[in-house]
Amino acid sequence: MNKIKFAIEIGGSYTKIYVKDEGFALCEPTLISAEATPQGYQIVGKGIEAKNMMGKTHDGVEVFSPISNGEIINYEYLKELLLYFLAKVEFKKNRDSCIVLVNCGLNEEEKNNFLSIMHEVGFREVYLVPTIICTCIGAGKNISSTKTNMMVNIGGANTDIAVINMNSIVKGATLGMGGRAVDVAIANQIAYNHGIVVGLNTSEKLKIQVGSLYNNDTLNMEVTGIDVESKTPRSYILSSNDLLPVLEPFFEEIVRAIDVTITSLPPELSTDIINNGVMFAGGMSNIAGLENFLRKNFKYPFKIVEDAENISILGAGKLLDDPELLETIIQNV
């Protein structure tokens, strides 16, 4: 195995790149904007440019992600996006190698799609590593130990739940729900309850700035959207309580999935989890009040990691610096 220089996480919301000996080098939205023309769709924006176009262009421009639920849904557009990102990090075509962080629930065909596209953009060698393994490493856990670790990564498109022991995933699951699903649900909630249509950028800002699992939180934010009936702009002040009916069911579903995973384990493993606790990571772990919510609704010890939204790519960076551990993990995947 040659020296591996890059670690790449292609998330449903953001693509992140870590470069060995340089650090965390890129974080941009995994978005493409394309305009309908007589010759077909033409790309007009990539990454942050595409995100800035959301809700601000004519009907002929579509902004979308070529990744959905951790799977490649538009191969050619993702290829163009990756080439655009790699041009920003001094990538040497046909010379550099990489690891790609992927969901633990991918089948062989989906894994082969990731391998193929990375080879096509010019990587010499490509290895797939479960994102949740890197999350665990980033959180400072010894994954080589016989002691069992349980990690929950609530990302932009998915939630990964995994039980990790001796460098491999003993039991893992990927839920097709993440931060983007919450953004859509918030927009739908506003349209249904208040008669205002807002864009996903607006609902994402609401989630970040106002979203809270505290029942008595007083955070609020003014948003402007299109009135459903009059079709004219209208502003409205939304509070944390307006978002609570979206956030609570989302986290309740994740708690249920964790419970099902733990109760299906052999007693020795579940005992380790009870003793060691469950680690929470991913951008949605930053929601205000999550710790309080888990104390009330989760029956196991837990910890929310620091820098939760970037912990996976930072863990991948640590892995690049440990070739022996990296080779062991690759062999176990």
Residues 112 and 154 in one domain: no
Q: What residue has token string 């052999």? A: 266
Residue 60 pLDDT class (50, 70, 90 cuts)? confident
Please check whether residues 18 and 40 belong to one and the same domain.
Answer: no
Same domain, 74 and 113: yes
Beta carbons of 269 and 170 less than 8 angstroms apart: yes
How many structural domains does the chain have?
Answer: 4
Of 163, 126, 167, the residue nearest 145 (C-alpha)? 167
Residue at which a domain ends, from 205, 240, 275: 240
The mean pLDDT of 210-237, rounded to a whole number, is 95
Q: Tell me phi and psi for residue 27, to 5 degrees.
A: -145, 105
203, 221, 240 — which closes off a domain?
A: 240
Q: Assess whether 23 and 97 both reside in one domain.
A: yes
Sign of the four-CA dihedral 114, 115, 116, 122? positive
Q: Identify the three-state secondary structure at position 162.
A: strand
- Nearest one of 44, 8, 13, 45 to 29, comparing CA atoms: 13
Residues 92 and 9 in one domain: yes
Q: What is the mean pLDDT of residues 248-266?
A: 96
Helix, strand, or coil (residue 199): coil
DSSP for 213-263 reads --TT---EEEEEEEETTT-SEEEEEEEHHHHHHHHHHHHHHHHHHHHHHHH
- Please check whether residues 12 and 72 belong to one and the same domain: yes
* CA-based R_g, the chain, Å: 21
The token duo for 48 is 């942050």
- Do 172 and 254 belong to one domain? yes
* Tokens (6 digits) for 103: 């969901």
Domain extent at residue 219: 179-240
Query: Residue 240's pLDDT band (boundaries 50, 70, 90)?
Result: very high
The answer on 193 and 165 residing in a single domain is no
pLDDT over 70 at 202, yes or no:
yes
What digits encode the pLDDT tens for the residues 80-103? 999 999 999 989 999 999 999 999
Considering the domain architecture, whether residues 313 and 324 belong to the same structural domain is answered as yes
Could you tell me if 11 and 86 lie in one domain? yes
pLDDT (0 to 100) of residue 280 = 98
Q: How far is CA 83 from the centre of its chain?
A: 20
Identify whether residues 152 and 301 lie together within a single domain. yes
> 110 and 15: one domain?
yes
CATH number of residue 221's parent domain: 3.90.640.10
Looking at residue 119, which CATH number applies to its domain? 3.30.420.40
Q: What would the pLDDT profile of 185-197 be if each residue is shown by its tens digit? A: 999 999 999 999 9
Of 209, 240, 271, the residue that ends a domain is: 240
Q: Mean of the per-residue pLDDT values for the chain? A: 94
The vertex-101 CA angle with 95 and 102, nearest 5°, equals 125
Query: Long-range contacts made by residues 29-32, C-beta under 8 angstroms, separation at least 24?
Result: 29/65, 30/65, 30/66, 30/67, 30/81, 31/63, 31/64, 31/65, 31/81, 32/63, 32/64, 32/65, 32/66, 32/74, 32/77, 32/80, 32/81
Between the alpha carbon of residue 291 and those of residues 185, 186, 213, the distances in Å are 22, 21, 9
